[in-house]
Chain A
């Protein structure tokens, strides 16, 4: 077996373990007796089992990193597949840190499936081993990316705890704006699953469709779609006779291969809506939030609020160090300027400002609990925006192919 194959297998093992872990944590949370004063007591044995499974999965992923490193000849963070996978490792690490502090199972119940989704999302990107272009040949790059994603991983845990908080406290007995937005957040996560499924299916079918178009650098090029084209390239000419396109991607989408990515986003939404609809059918019409609400009924809301806040308190400086300071050091080496207002840099700064605002909001009374949980959701959206959409819409130094 080649190193690449070993690394893929280790990743798959982790993926499966996290699914198991999710189930174990869910049982440990749902099976607990309702305690009147909201204290956490039972479910300990199962929780520890879930945690051990997670740790094994984590080491399997660490194994993935090292074998992939060997295969790549450099630290595996140079394309979207590698980077996103790495982010999932850091989310798990964030979870492990938080679990060791709080020993809380409901966090695992939500953190693990999110890691599963991120791995699934990552795994549909091209996976070839790629050499590094000169700008990326830097130890500072490795230090920068590892620290940023650790920071983002921990900040994601703030979202996880915030989500558990919202699932727990939002009154599901009647429809409201809050139940709507909570479903919306869940739908967003499901869209990532939709993305992975749609891409996976068409990849397995070997689907391919080619367009000629003028790319973001102004060169004429061929663009290959691996899922049917709903949104074709702007002013593109179809070279093969497959389906579509139904319409053209707007011309202002300027990232590398933007129309193709935009098309994938559309498919993810479609896939996500379909899966969401199926789940609602299975639940006989009940909102997903309502079902999850029953499961997390034993959770202690102030504790979730605290975990969510604590994750920001721990993650914010880590993110700042990696996303701003180390990034600047690398940029100084590679491009002669430590700060250049490149879109990806700006979005890291936006993330920084956002969490600074979060911390100050908490200084005013009344911004704890639910409001703060919604803020942690927005924070996660900003991080994901930087990962997915900045690459899609904006051409910059960082846009991975």
Chain B
């Protein structure tokens, strides 16, 4: 199958190897003027070696950094375009996405919508793009991991002359006491925390090899993040429910399968004090500024078996306050203060009076959400609520009706029985009217004020994927730091024909390795090696200017 390449040093290299894994001799013809490409140690990579089957072709394609960068740039451009107009979730509530983009932004808006940019992150082509990016990361990493591992394990201390000559940092000095110098060099490099290996007439010093694995660690982190994103689509991993709960109400928390109940005792909104010496100026310019939103709640758990429909017996778990930036947390759930409505109608109060409103016969209070039918005012005065229209209007026939169950415009039909009118009088009461249905009513229900209450908008969340995202992000960051804040530095010394050859390579941070080498050459009393790249730049410039 594969043909091995046997180097003159005797090492058997797999097909596709560029630099001998052991001695570093360039195995393929190359430009003598150029420095060596040390990427992946010149080891054989699958993608550079096989190109026969369709799988080979896909593999090669995905493992190419050019393709990888292209994918990154494509994602970048897509999400940048995605911010030009608002995403579907951010258009005004009630707007119809089908018409919104066209009406608001014209033809461009329509194109935007048609191409799926309005809901970019869920559009099929974006998901495919991300999928390809993920595949590319995996393939590219596998393609390089094993060869790199093999090459780094197989390093020989004595490197080929051509290998040394073509490193970026390279220098030679005549010497007569080679071994002694190597001994000194070992000492100096060990002080700089290098791992030193010796062979006869040669030395290899190496440090920070583990940083070479940084990219692979960080790519694994990215994969974990992608997996977390996929898991979101699995039901149960991710609960996200909103609820409105009025002051005084007790409700099951949605998404908890009735395992938790909550009571909202009070919603409190506070603003900054206008007189506050610190903020006076800002408040004068911006109007009042909210200081906090807060719901005072109690969390319950039902006791025993709950019967369908009936509110179960509840056991109190704890009292708490839910604020912005401080959710209620329990059993993996978080409950957030997300929204509010102030002063929603709650109860309407009436007094029973005579027509002239001079004499009163008692009071009643009608709960607009859950009205009682009968109200006993004592001394034989009774009021019965026969009809209730929470959101009152006159329908097409001119009859009273209700638009919804929300008490936006409550109206009532009451039946009033009194000691002198045992058969009762009927009256119709709405916010602005109090009509007696029969002309000669003696009694009247006079509006005597409203009770209002606030409503808290809460979000109930349980998200097992958060932790996976977080772990992925941490692995990613550790990998990046591992690969960036440490570097793989190597220094080769070799005694050749009465000269001491020194060459060095680092995958990053040449400044750092040069400082190490300056320490080494200082203690050996030899000149520093030349930076062949810098020299190349200077000579090229001189050529250009002359």
Question: Footprint of B on A, CB under 8 Å?
Answer: 36-38, 71-73, 101-102, 126, 128-131, 133-135, 137-138, 171, 252, 254, 300-303, 306, 309-310, 313-314, 316-317, 320-321, 324-325, 328, 332-338, 341, 343, 346-347, 349-350, 353-354, 356-357, 360-361, 363-365, 390, 394-395, 401
Contact = CB atoms under 8 A, between A and B. Distances in A.
Contacts of A338: 466, 469
B323 A325 contact: no
B281 A133 contact: no
A211 to B, nearest CB: 17
Contacts of A101: 511
Contacts of B39: 363, 365
Given A134-B293, A300-B534, A73 B76 contact: no
Given A129-B278, A313-B508, 20 more contacts: A126-B285, A130-B286, A130-B289, A133-B290, A134-B325, A135-B325, A137-B324, A138-B325, A252-B105, A301-B537, A317-B485, A328-B473, A333-B327, A341-B121, A350-B76, A353-B75, A356-B72, A357-B72, A360-B68, A360-B72
Contacts of B107: none
B509 to A, nearest CB: 6
Contacts of B76: 350, 353-354, 357
B484 A336 contact: no
B526 interface: no
Interface stretch (B79-87, B175-183, B194-202): B79-87
Which of A137, A171, A401 has the largest count of B CB atoms less than 10 A from its CB? A137
B87 A341 contact: yes
Contacts of A361: 69
21 contacts: A71-B278, A131-B279, A131-B282, A131-B283, A131-B291, A137-B324, A300-B534, A301-B534, A302-B533, A303-B511, A313-B485, A314-B484, A321-B477, A325-B477, A333-B326, A333-B327, A336-B240, A336-B338, A346-B80, A350-B79, A350-B80
A357 B326 contact: no
B325 A137 contact: yes
B15 interface: no
Interface string B507-546: 0111100000000000000000001011101100000100
Given A350-B76, A354-B76, A37 B325 contact: no
Contacts of A310: 508-509, 511
Given A353-B72, A354-B76, A357-B76, A306 B511 contact: yes
Nearest to A342: B90
Nearest to A173: B545
Given A37-B534, A135-B324, A361-B69, A320 B279 contact: no
Contacts of B334: 336
Contacts of A314: 484-485
Contacts of B85: 252
Give the interface SS of chain A, mostly helix, strand, loop or mixed: helix
B336 interface: yes
Q: What are the 9 tightest A-B residue pairs by CB atom distance, in nearest-first order?
A: A134-B324, A336-B336, A313-B484, A353-B76, A130-B282, A343-B83, A138-B325, A317-B480, A131-B279
B304 to A, nearest CB: 32
A180 B510 CA distance: 32
A336 B461 contact: yes
Contacts of B66: 364
Contacts of B459: 336
B83 A347 contact: yes
B511 to A, nearest CB: 6
B115 interface: no
Contact of B537 (A38, A328, A395): A38
B285 A128 contact: yes
Nearest to A364: B65
Interface in B272-296: 272, 276, 278-279, 281-283, 285-286, 289-293
A361 B68 CA distance: 10
Given A343-B83, A349-B79, A36 B538 contact: yes
B114 interface: no
A346 B82 contact: yes
Nearest to A79: B282
B311 interface: no
Contacts of A395: 86
A301 B466 CA distance: 45
A317 B535 contact: no
B306 interface: no
A167 to B, nearest CB: 14
Interface in B371-423: none
B534 A38 contact: yes
B457 to A, nearest CB: 11
Contacts of B83: 343, 346-347, 390, 394
A36 B477 CA distance: 42
Q: Which of B65, B76, B509 has the most CB of A within 10 A?
A: B76
Contacts of B123: none
A357 B69 CA distance: 6
A335 B535 CA distance: 56
Contacts of A133: 289-290
Contacts of A320: 476-477, 480
Interface string B85-127: 1110100000000000000110000000000000011000000
B73 interface: yes
Contact of A306 (B279, B477, B510): B510
Contacts of A131: 272, 276, 278-279, 282-283, 289, 291
Contacts of B327: 333, 336
B481 interface: yes
B103 to A, nearest CB: 12
B279 A129 contact: yes
A373 B82 CA distance: 28
A37 B485 contact: no
A333 B87 CA distance: 22
B154 interface: no
Nearest to A369: B537
Contacts of B289: 130-131, 133
A363 B511 contact: no
Contacts of A349: 79
B37 interface: yes
A272 B240 CA distance: 50
Contacts of A390: 83
Contacts of B508: 309-310, 313
A287 B466 CA distance: 53
Nearest to B531: A302
A334 B327 CA distance: 8
B102 to A, nearest CB: 13
Nearest to A390: B83
Contacts of A317: 477, 480-481, 484-485
B426 to A, nearest CB: 45
A72 B292 CA distance: 17
B111 to A, nearest CB: 14
B69 A360 contact: yes
Contacts of B480: 316-317, 320
Contacts of A341: 82, 87, 89, 120-121
B484 to A, nearest CB: 4
A73 to B, nearest CB: 6
Contacts of B466: 332, 338
Nearest to B535: A37
A229 to B, nearest CB: 20
A130 B325 contact: no
Nearest to B87: A341
A71 B39 CA distance: 54
A255 to B, nearest CB: 12
> Which of the listed residues A36, A126, A131, A347 has the most CB atoms from chain B within 10 Å of its own CB?
A131
A73 B477 CA distance: 33
A72 B276 CA distance: 12
A354 B79 CA distance: 12
B461 A129 contact: no
